[in-house]
Amino acid sequence: MYRTLYDILHDVSKSSMVDDGDLQAAGLLILTAVIHGLQINRAGIWIFTDDKEAIRCRMLIDGNDCVLDGGLELVRASYPDYFTALDNERAIVANNAQDYSSTLEFRDNYLIPFGITSMLDAPIRHRGNMLGIICCEHQGPEREWSSEEIAFASALADTYGRAISAAQRNNYEQQLTEINEQLEQKINERTDTLQNALRNLNHTQAKLIESEKLASLGRLVSGLAHEINTPLGVAVTSASHCANELKRVQQLYRADQLNEQEFAQFLESIDDGLGLINNNLNRAATLVQNFKLSGAIHTANEEEQFELRDCIELTLKSLQPLLKTNQVTYQLEADNTIQINSYPGAIAQIITNLITNSIHHAFANTREKNIRIQLNETAEQVEIHYADNGCGIADNIRQKIFEPFFTTARRTGGSGLGLSIVYNLVTQKLGGDIVIDEDQGGGAKFSLTLPKRN
């Protein structure tokens, strides 16, 4: 008998069903082993409720029938002696179950109806706690359970505890898989949301840049209109004066009153007038030409090879009306010609925004307003050093000035986009870097580093 029980226990212990995580399959295997080893017809797995005030039958084999969660339940209040014995967490060995003190309580409504004469309840333990029992029920003549049979039932109960661990582990793995899938789904959803937000941000940024370009061109047009009015006005006045002089001389000629002195005076007046017309029309033509070139630079979106100083100088000329109106002088310094393969429109926009920023923020209390731009180059990159002699940038806002919509001049119409656009153009469009110099005592100072891409 002992060898047979050992062999059955060994086979159960080696079975993969114990550790597969399928608790029903493991329970069926263990109860079948109990019935086969102890030569009984009825055995069940009973599990405590969470409050341990009742114990329920989770699986029962009765002959050829196997019932899962059949509704059998024993309540502590109805069977206090039996539950007291269970609380000791030891096997209940009832050779004569109908007279045994711990099982006597359910003789009439359970033992006798099912013909149970002997019981062996082996505790199921899991992680040090007793979760329930494997109930071995003998029908027929009273039976005395041997120590080998008690050890056999207890070992199978421990094996069921192992199966519970496997089931929990399998459940945890399944939950972890589901959590990972949900997490991955959330990550994908958030990634899609962030990508959409990034696309919208890039689209908005592109619109803002285009809007700022148009605003810059609008300022150029306004400045050009103001600047060109003067030479055109002088030319129109001179042309009108020449026309009046010609009309006067024609009248004298028809009246035969034109003398040599009048004619000489007429020629001198016409010469002066035509000179004024010619000079002022040339000046207006130069302004228009510079504006056309500057407009072409501002709207250029293609990467091309160009000379950096010429690009910046032309931008400064286009800003001359704005600089003149605000009484700002500038110096552009470059040791040599600097060829760069980049985007001239972006560079023109950067210079325009920096100068506009200085005019709006730096010179409130400065009499002699000056802007200095210095160009340097190395083998692979170009440095643009921009400085004004205004009030500088306060330490408490230095970390914020490149943020979109941050401005200290909201009340006077500042949008907070000028330096943000500069930063994005430098770092994204041109692939460079821009930093604020530590020394802001003599005014705002920016250092731009751009790749030459030759």
Residue 180 pLDDT exceeds 60: yes
Q: For 171-199, what is the mean pLDDT? A: 88
Q: Decide if 31 contacts 134 (C-beta within 8 A).
A: yes
Give the per-residue pLDDT at 80: 92
Q: For 34-43, what is the mean pLDDT? A: 93
* Helical H segments across 68-146, by residue range: 80-87, 112-114
Query: pTM for the full model?
Result: 0.47
Give the per-residue pLDDT at 318: 80
Looking at 19-33, 256-270, 271-285, 399-413, which range is the least confident one?
A: 399-413
| Residue 274 CA to its chain's centroid (Å) | 67
Confidence of residue 277 (pLDDT cuts 50, 70, 90): confident
Ranges in the chain annotated CATH 3.30.450.40: 2-173
Q: For 263-284, what is the mean pLDDT? A: 81
Give the per-residue pLDDT at 120: 95
Residues 427-445 as b or e (16 or more Cβ within 10 Å = b): eebbebebebeeebeebbb
Distance CA(119)–CA(153), nearest Å, equals 11
Q: How many CA atoms lie within 13 A of 317 on its CB side?
A: 17
| 135 CB-near residues (< 8 Å, 6+ apart) | 43, 44, 45, 46, 119, 120, 121
* Helical H segments across 342-450, by residue range: 344-361, 418-424
| Tokens 């990972």 found at | 180
Give the per-residue pLDDT at 329: 92
Looking at 25-29, 49-53, 104-108, 245-249, which range is the least confident one?
A: 245-249
Residue 105 pLDDT exceeds 60: yes
Q: For 251-273, what is the mean pLDDT? A: 82
pLDDT tens-digit map of 332-351: 998 788 889 888 888 888 89
Confidence of residue 145 (pLDDT cuts 50, 70, 90): very high
Give the per-residue pLDDT at 274: 85
* Helical H segments across 122-146, by residue range: none
Q: Decide if 287 contacts 232 (C-beta within 8 A).
A: no
Q: Decide if 134 contacts 122 (C-beta within 8 A).
A: yes
Looking at 140-144, 146-150, 298-302, which range is the least confident one?
A: 298-302
Q: Decide if 378 contacts 395 (C-beta within 8 A).
A: no
Residue 149 pLDDT exceeds 70: yes
Confidence of residue 211 (pLDDT cuts 50, 70, 90): low
DSSP state of 16: G
Looking at 19-23, 120-124, 222-226, 405-409, which range is the least confident one?
A: 222-226
pLDDT tens-digit map of 354-385: 998 888 888 877 888 999 999 998 888 999 99
- Write down the CATH number for the domain with range 2-173: 3.30.450.40
Q: For 179-204, what is the mean pLDDT? A: 86
Ranges in the chain annotated CATH 3.30.565.10: 300-454
Confidence of residue 36 (pLDDT cuts 50, 70, 90): very high
pLDDT tens-digit map of 289-336: 655 555 554 555 678 888 999 989 888 888 888 888 888 999 999 878
Distance CA(387)–CA(347), nearest Å, equals 16
Q: What is the per-residue DSSP string for 229-265?
A: HHHHHHHHHHHHHHHHHHHHHHHHHHTT---HHHHHH
**Type of residue numbered 225:** A
Higher pLDDT, 8 or 229: 8
Give the per-residue pLDDT at 100: 93
300-454: CATH topology is Heat Shock Protein 90 (3.30.565)
Return the percentage of the chain with pLDDT > 90, whole number: 29
- Three-state SS string over 427-454 comes to HHHCCCEEEECCCCCCCCEEEEEEECCC
Confidence of residue 210 (pLDDT cuts 50, 70, 90): low
Confidence of residue 440 (pLDDT cuts 50, 70, 90): low
Sheet architecture: strand order including 433-436: 328-334, 369-377, 381-388, 445-451, 433-436
